[in-house]
Amino acid sequence: MARHLKPAGGFELFAWFFMRISGLVLVFLALGHLFITHILNNVENINYEFVADRWAAPRTGFIWRLWDLAMINLAVLHGGNGLRQILDEYVIRRSRRVLTHTLIWSGAAILMVLGTYAIVMFEKDQAYINQKHALEKGQVVSAGRGQEPSQALQPLAATRP
Amino acid sequence: MADTMAADAGTRRLTVRIKRYDPEQGGEPRWQEFQVDAHPMDRVLDVLLSIKWNQDEALGLRRSCAHGVCGSDAMRINGKNGLACKLLVNTLQGDVLTVEPILGLPVIKDLIVDMKPFFDHYKSVMPYLVNDDPPPTTERLQSPEERARFDETTKCILCACCTTACPPFWGNEKYVGPAAIVNAHRFIFDSRDQAAAERLEILNDGEGVWRCRTVFNCTSACPRDIHVTKAIQEVKHAMLTGSTSLND
C-alpha cells in the first residue's frame, strides 16, 4: 500500500527537479537551434540581418525571442547549478563554499541580465542592413570589372583597429 | 590453495601489487609487489591469504565468512571496488593484480579501513522498523506485492563497496552515501513501517540524497547486484511527490 506523505520541499529538491526539467527543455531548444542555424541554414547565411529579421518579424518575432531567452537563461542556470554541485565535492570548507557560490551566481546573474537585456530591448536597424547590402553590391560590381578591391569597402575596413 | 596447487596445469604467476600502510611507521602509503602462483579457481582472497601465510604475515586485511555474505573484505581490486572473496583471479585481465584499500575512509593498516564514518551515516537514517501500533498476536502481515516493493534493498550486506566507489563521497565525507540511502529505502517502502516521513526529512538535508549525481559507480560496485542508483532515485521521487508509490 502506498503511503501519502508531505512532499519534502526545500532548495536542494527544487534545484534537482529544475535540473531534470531544464535539461530536458534544453535538449529541444539547443538541438533545434543547431538544426536551424547549421542544417537549414549555415554560417555563411547567419548574420545580423538573419537574427534581426527573425526577432523583428511581426507575428513570429516574440516566439524566437522567447526561444532565445529561454535558451540562454536555462543554460546559464543549469550550467551554474551543475558547477556548484561539482565544486561542492572539492570545496568543503564553509567559507570557501560561500566564495565559490558567490562567484558562480554573480557570473550567472551578469550573463542572464546581459542576455535578457539584449534580447528584450533589441530593435532592428534597417539603415545598417541597407548600407551592408549596398556595400555587397559594390563589391560584386567591382570584382566583375577585375579591379582592385572595392573603394566602397574601404571605409568599413578603415574602422577596424 | 594458491601455493599448494602451484604445480598444477593452468596455474599462472601473478604479480600482486598491494598498497601498504604501516601506522607505526607513518608516512605515505607505499606499493609493494609479491609474486604468487595462482590456480585458476583461486579467488583474490586466496591470493592475499597466500601472501599473508607464506610471504608477509604482517599484511593487514579483513575477512570473516569468505563467501560473499559478511561483507568484510571489500577492497579496490584493479581499480574497481569488490569483495576479494567473490572475484576469481582468472576473470582478471593481465598478470598484474592491484589491490588497494577502499577509498574515502581513513586507512588503519594496509587494506583495513576505519568503517566508523560509514556506520555513522548508516545509523543516521534510522535503519530499523518503526511501528507504534500495538503488536499483533501473530506477525505484522503484508502482501507479496508489498514485500516485493523493497525486496532488492534488503540484500545489502553493508560492505561499503558502493559508498567508497562514489565520487561525491570521496570528496565530501559528510555525504550520507549510497549504502545509507539503500538501507533507508528498505524501510521507507516497507508497508509495515511508520517513519518514512522522518527518514525522508533526514535525507532531504544538503548532505543527503541531493549529493547523488547519478555516477552509477555504486550500482556497478555492488557485489549483491542491488540497483543502488535506482533506489536512490526512488527516494528522490518519494520526496518530490510525497508518495511511496511509483505510479503517482
Do B120 and B74 have their domain in common? no
How many contacts, defined by CB atoms under 8 Å, are there between A and B? 63
Pick the range with the lowest mean pLDDT from A138-152, B53-67, B83-97, B135-149: A138-152
Instruction: Name the closest residue on chain A to residue B170, using Cα atoms.
Output: A89
Q: What is the mean pLDDT of residues B182-204?
A: 96
Contacts of B242 in chain A (CB under 8 A): 4-8
Do B146 and B159 have their domain in common? yes
Would residue B4 count as lying in a domain? no
Instruction: Name the closest residue on chain A to residue B244, using Cα atoms.
Output: A2
Would residue B131 count as lying in a domain? yes
DSSP notation for A31-58: HHHHIIIIIIS-TTT-SHHHHHHHHH-T
Do B124 and B160 have their domain in common? yes
Does residue A155 surpass a pLDDT of 80? no
The question of ipTM being above 0.90 is answered as no
The boundaries of the domain holding residue B234 are 116-241
Domains identified in chain B, total number = 2
B214 contact A CB<8A: no
Subunit contact A12:B170, Cβ cutoff 8 A: no
What number of CA atoms fall less than 13 Å from residue A9's CA on the CB side?
3
Task: Give the one of B172, B242, B244 whose C-beta lies nearest to A6's C-beta.
Answer: B242
| A42 to chain B, closest Cα gap in Å | 36
Would residue B6 count as lying in a domain? no
- The DSSP code for B17 is E
Q: What is the mean pLDDT of residues B18-44?
A: 95
Would residue B172 count as lying in a domain? yes
Q: How far is CA B73 from CA B55, B100, B180, in A?
A: 20, 11, 19
Subunit contact A89:B146, Cβ cutoff 8 A: no
Domain-terminating residue out of B113, B143, B171 = B113
State the average pLDDT for chain B. 93
| B144 to chain A, closest Cα gap in Å | 11
HEC states along B118-137? Answer: HHHHHHHCCCCCCCCCCCCC
Q: What is the mean pLDDT of residues B31-50?
A: 96
A17 contact B CB<8A: yes
Do B23 and B105 have their domain in common? yes
Contacts of A1 in chain B (CB under 8 A): 146, 191
Q: How far apart are CA B3 and CA B25, in angstroms?
A: 30
Query: Which grid cell is A119?
Result: 534580447
Q: What is the mean pLDDT of residues A139-152?
A: 53
Look at the pTM and tell me if it is higher than 0.95. no
Contacts for A64 with CB less than 8 Å, ≥ 6 apart: A54, A55, A57
Q: How far is CA B167 from CA A80, B49, B218, in A?
A: 20, 30, 10
Contact B44, B84 (CB under 8 A): yes
Give the number of other Cβ atoms within 10 Å of residue A51's Cβ.
Answer: 15
Look at residue A150 in the predicted model and tell me its pLDDT.
47
Q: How far apart are CA B72 and CA B160, in angstroms?
A: 9
Look at residue A29 in the predicted model and tell me its pLDDT.
97
Do B129 and B229 have their domain in common? yes
Would residue B246 count as lying in a domain? no
CATH number reported for the structural domain that contains residue B120 in this entry: 1.10.1060.10
Instruction: Name the closest residue on chain A to residue B240, using Cα atoms.
Output: A7
Predicted confidence band of residue B7 (pLDDT cuts 50, 70, 90): low
Does residue B158 surpass a pLDDT of 90? yes
- b/e code A74-99 from CB counts within 10 Å (16+ = b): bbbbbbbbebbbebbbebeeeeeeee
CATH number reported for the structural domain that contains residue B70 in this entry: 3.10.20.30
Q: What is the mean pLDDT of residues B206-227?
A: 94
Look at residue A4 in the predicted model and tell me its pLDDT.
77
Do B81 and B177 have their domain in common? no
Domain-terminating residue out of B92, B113, B134 = B113
Would residue B137 count as lying in a domain? yes
Predicted confidence band of residue B184 (pLDDT cuts 50, 70, 90): very high
State the average pLDDT for chain A. 86
Q: Select the more confidently predicted residue: A3 or B203.
A: B203
Do B215 and B127 have their domain in common? yes
Does residue B138 surpass a pLDDT of 50? yes
Instruction: Name the closest residue on chain A to residue B143, using Cα atoms.
Output: A1
B10 contact A CB<8A: no
Instruction: Name the closest residue on chain A to residue B215, using Cα atoms.
Output: A86
Do B99 and B145 have their domain in common? no
Q: What is the mean pLDDT of residues A87-110?
A: 93
Would residue B120 count as lying in a domain? yes
B240 contact A CB<8A: yes
Contact B82, B71 (CB under 8 A): no
Give the number of other Cβ atoms within 10 Å of residue A109's Cβ.
Answer: 12
Look at residue B142 in the predicted model and tell me its pLDDT.
93
Would residue B1 count as lying in a domain? no
